Amino acid sequence: MISERKSRALFARAQLRIPGAVNSPVRAWAAVGGAPLFAARATGAYLYDADGNQFIDYVCSYGPAIAGHAHPAVVDAIAAQARAGLGFGASTELEVELAEIITSAIGVADKVRLVSSGTEAGMTALRIARAATGRSCIIKFDGCYHGHSDSLLVRAGSGGMTLGLPDSAGVPAELAALTMVATYNSIQSVEELFRKNPGRIAAIIVEPIAANMGVIPPEPGFLKTLESLAHQNGALLICDEVITGFRLSFGAASEKTGLAPDLIMLGKIIGGGLPVGAVAGPSRYMDLLAPAGPVYQAGTLSGNPLSVRAGIETLKLLKQPGVYERLEVASARLEAGLREALLRHEERGCVNRAGSLLTMFFGPSQVRNAEDARSSSSSRFTRFFHAMLESGINIPPSQFEALFVSLAHSDDDIDRTIVAVVNALGAASGG
């Protein structure tokens, strides 16, 4: 039994001064129960909690730690930048450098606007699309998560799905009505919305690989048909690459599939673990943003030098030869281990993977959309989660999140994880 005394005490203390004791709902472990661990430090593939327990970490800060936690090159760069100043309320050469790196890596991106979170990226992308088309409605997919801005908290994935709050309180019905919900991997559901709402839809917003209802890859042709449908109906296609941007390759996952989105959201990896978000796209849309155009958007800490410096350093690491091949080999080994463990325990379930993003679903033999994901057994996932923790493996505390593999996960880490999965499946099945 791992010691959790300090985490429990911190959780109780936090309850007094922080809503739900957390600053982001998924960290409260509401879906899996128990005393959520409080992190103390992390390095490479390992996270250490307040009680000193060491875990092989597959949360990886939900994506940014692709080079491993506290990579020395990133930490040194942040430290050096901090000594030069934490922020100025003025632009810096660093922002230009990061914009040049991103636009050279993403074909459709002439320009980039940096913000401080994926949520801000989503808000900004929607506002550009509504301004560009003069239309108010958007199409999103059940189970996809694009941050917590009002228009996007409709049938939202991630924490919304985990807590059973996909449609948040406090979002005016009049506003929520402008957000139409389709089914991931169902072109027919999108066609129907366009048919019923001619001339009203400004954009389709989609995760090119869904990772907030667990990992669900797009089926062949799905994304390309979305792009055609959007353009045939005078709407934009927004690809939310807050997770997938620079995760599967050095650039946008959507472009890897031959897509040419009208706007791309980015975040997480491009900030190297510090607060960041971005919208990128062609000048005809990006120049709508103030002060170039009439779409107002702003941020005190947008492009802040620490996040930008950490992002530049992380992208330098990812640009090195063989990086994505290494991630692919490690992730494929983990996927094979998970699949083998399911078979060995004759456990009903499946494993979805896209690059270094994986989810093991308990129950369904395939998961193609949110409904399939919701049919998973939360009780078996909960037992599995806690058994993995006991074995020193930290995975996201929700069936509706992704495991993130980093460059720091060694062969031995992967092997130890697979052994833990085999043991944990025994616990999950109540065996």
Q: Which residues are catalytic?
A: 145, 240, 268
> What span, in angstroms and rounded, lies between the C-alpha atoms of 251 and 243?
12
State the minimum distance, in angstroms, from the CB of residue 427 to ligand KE4: 25
State the minimum distance, in angstroms, from the CB of residue 308 to ligand KE4: 16
State the minimum distance, in angstroms, from the CB of residue 146 to ligand KE4: 5
The answer to whether 27 and 20 are in contact (CB under 8 A) is no
Selected from 71, 146, 155, 386, the binder of ligand KE4 by CB under 6 A is 146
Selected from 57, 255, 262, 401, the binder of ligand KE4 by CB under 6 A is 401
- Extract long-range pairs of 338-344: CB within 8 Å, 24+ residues apart: 338/418, 338/421, 340/418, 341/418, 341/421, 341/422, 341/425, 342/425, 344/422, 344/425
Q: Which stretch binds ligand KE4 (CB under 6 A): 83-91, 113-121, 126-134, 416-424?
A: 113-121
The answer to whether 405 and 330 are in contact (CB under 8 A) is yes
Selected from 11, 46, 145, 381, the binder of ligand KE4 by CB under 6 A is 145
Per-residue CA distances from 366 to 157, 343, 361, 369 (Å): 18, 14, 8, 9
Q: Which stretch binds ligand KE4 (CB under 6 A): 12-20, 142-150, 294-302, 369-377?
A: 142-150
Q: Among residue numbers 212 through 271, which ones bind ligand KE4 (CB under 6 A)?
A: 212, 240, 242-243, 267
| Cβ nearer to ligand KE4, comparing 53 with 162 | 162
State the minimum distance, in angstroms, from the CB of residue 240 to ligand KE4: 5
Q: Which stretch binds ligand KE4 (CB under 6 A): 140-148, 194-202, 223-231, 374-382?
A: 140-148
Per-residue CA distances from 78 to 35, 71, 271 (Å): 32, 11, 11
39-62 residues labelled b (16+ CB within 10 A) or e (exposed): beebebbbbbbbbebebbbbbbbb
| Cβ nearer to ligand KE4, comparing 81 with 244 | 244
Measure CA of the first residue to CA of the last residue in the chain; give whole Å: 18
| Cβ nearer to ligand KE4, comparing 166 with 337 | 166
| Cβ nearer to ligand KE4, comparing 115 with 342 | 115
Selected from 4, 207, 227, 413, the binder of ligand KE4 by CB under 6 A is 207
The DSSP secondary structure of 68-129, one letter per residue, reads: -BT-HHHHHHHHHHHHH-S--SS--HHHHHHHHHHHHH-TT-SEEEEESSHHHHHHHHHHHH
| Cβ nearer to ligand KE4, comparing 212 with 314 | 212
Q: Which stretch binds ligand KE4 (CB under 6 A): 117-125, 221-229, 292-300, 351-359?
A: 117-125
User: What is the greatest pairwise CA distance in the chain?
Assistant: 63
> What span, in angstroms and rounded, lies between the C-alpha atoms of 334 and 356?
9
State the minimum distance, in angstroms, from the CB of residue 141 to ligand KE4: 11
Q: Among residue numbers 156 through 185, which ones bind ligand KE4 (CB under 6 A)?
A: 158-159
> What span, in angstroms and rounded, lies between the C-alpha atoms of 260 and 226?
11
Q: Which stretch binds ligand KE4 (CB under 6 A): 115-123, 191-199, 354-362, 380-388?
A: 115-123
CA 294 to chain centre: 30
* DSSP category for residue 53: -
Structure tokens at 134: 């003069």
Binding status of residue 151 toward ligand KE4 by CB under 6 A: no
Secondary structure class of 293 (helix, strand, coil): coil
Binding status of residue 57 toward ligand KE4 by CB under 6 A: no
Query: What strands, in cross-sheet order, belong to the sheet with 263-267?
Result: 111-115, 277-281, 263-267, 236-240, 201-206, 137-141, 179-182
Total of residues contacting ligand KE4 (CB under 6 A) = 20
Q: Name the closest residue to ligand KE4 (Cβ).
A: 118
Selected from 92, 117, 249, 331, the binder of ligand KE4 by CB under 6 A is 117
Residues 275-314: x/- map of binding to ligand KE4 (CB under 6 A)?
Answer: --x-------------------------------------
**Pairing verdict, β 357-362 and 403-404:** antiparallel
| Cβ nearer to ligand KE4, comparing 141 with 194 | 141
The answer to whether 276 and 118 are in contact (CB under 8 A) is no
> What span, in angstroms and rounded, lies between the C-alpha atoms of 167 and 147?
13
Binding status of residue 119 toward ligand KE4 by CB under 6 A: yes
Task: Using only the alpha carbons of the chain, give its radius of gyration.
Answer: 21
Site residues (CB under 6 A) for ligand KE4?
24, 26, 62, 117-119, 122, 145-147, 158-159, 207, 212, 240, 242-243, 267, 277, 401
